[in-house]
Amino acid sequence: MKEVHNFSAGPAILPQQAIDASIEALREFKNMGLSLVEISHRSAQWEETMQAAVNLVRELLKVPDDYSILFLQGGASTQFCMVPYNLLSENGTAAYVKTGTWAKKAIKEAQLFGNVQVLGSSEDKNFSYIPKDFSIPGDADYFHCTSNNTIFGTQMKEFPDSPIPMVCDMSSDIFSRPVDVSKFGIIYAGAQKNMGPAGTTLVIIKNELFGKSGRKIPSMLDYKIHAENDSMFNTCPVFPIYLSFETLKWLKGEGGVEGIAERNKRKAEKLYKEIDDNPMFVGTAAKEDRSYMNICFLLKDDSLNNEFMKAAKEANISGIKGHRSVGGFRASTYNALPEKSVDVLIGIMKEFANKHA
């Protein structure tokens, strides 16, 4: 297989070791004479794996004992409605910060359930920064934020101390850095960036939040039911969970979230340095809010975009076309992206500048 530098925003690059282990499990799972996808999710062999995956999430993120760890389906987008369904009471208010496309979608879904107060928004500058001067109302049912804005390349470097349960969409930076889970009521993340393939969604929820909204909730959207059934209320997606588990085993071998955070920072900072130093490019996100996961930048002369894309392709760089809401380029530097790939990208940026000097 040719070596490709995969900067895709998600589904994204995964460790080869995790993919290889999952191929093995697809061939045969735990000497059962059957493939992973042919066995019952109620088998002892699967239950053991599921438990090990939950334990590993708990270990890597230091999740306190009074939180449940769930592997659900429906993507992060389903969480946009599950959160208000479970937390927003009939006459209550939910507080959101609007930091990008995904936050907007989360707000839209919450509005189906009740009152939503938008505490801060960066829409005035095309979501190029993280709003900070807001205070969280103590009488709202919960506060919702997005830790990393995949499309606009901004990231919350710190989280506020919230007087009410803080809910965070960490889809694009979960497991990329340590977080203090005890600050949050709910953390959720679609798997398909740092954790695994699409098909499962990780939810970490403080148990005291079960049934908080007082609403009648359909079983599949009720966190309590999933927790009581160890994420196996219905047939769970064994393959995405397995590949996520193998990815997390790889992460542990790389020094866990502490170890990978250092590497992620180094990768991102060297690319931002090139963007700042290179006369042809400019970054789009406010410097203090720059994401260490999704790095958005433009060519000052956008008539050269196609030529730069061609140069990238020739260097086996894949997935750097920017999202249409920002334009230009987006290099996603998730956990599994080797530092070498960043060096290759920096190399072609330098070459491009030399050629056009």
* Chain contacts with ligand PMP (rule: CB under 6 A): 10, 75-77, 102, 146, 150, 169, 171-172, 190
Task: Please return the burial class of 89, using the count of CB atoms within 10 Å of its CB with bins 0-12, 13-18 and 19+.
Answer: middle
In whole angstroms, the minimum distance from the beta carbon of 339 to ligand PMP comes to 23
- Where would I find the H helices in 148-237? 223-228
Q: Report residue 193: phi and psi, to 5°.
A: -120, -80
Q: Which 3 state secondary structure label does DSSP give 276?
A: helix
Pairing of β 166-169 and β 142-146:
parallel
The span from the CA of 218 to the CA of 243, in Å, is 29
Q: Which is nearer to ligand PMP, 294 or 299 (CB)?
A: 294
Q: Is 167:87 a contact under the CB 8 Å cutoff? A: yes
Residues 315/193/52/29 CA torsion (nearest 10 deg): -60
In whole angstroms, the minimum distance from the beta carbon of 229 to ligand PMP comes to 22
In whole angstroms, the minimum distance from the beta carbon of 219 to ligand PMP comes to 20
Distance of CA 305 to the CA centre of its chain: 28
In whole angstroms, the minimum distance from the beta carbon of 73 to ligand PMP comes to 10
Active site residue ranges: 102, 169, 193
**Dihedral over Cα of 126, 130, 135, 139: its sign:** positive
Q: Which is nearer to ligand PMP, 75 or 185 (CB)?
A: 75
Q: Which is nearer to ligand PMP, 8 or 281 (CB)?
A: 8
Q: Which is nearer to ligand PMP, 96 or 352 (CB)?
A: 96
Q: Which is nearer to ligand PMP, 174 or 257 (CB)?
A: 174
The residue type at 184: F
The span from the CA of 193 to the CA of 216, in Å, is 33
In whole angstroms, the minimum distance from the beta carbon of 45 to ligand PMP comes to 28
Q: Distance between terminal CA atoms of the chain?
A: 35
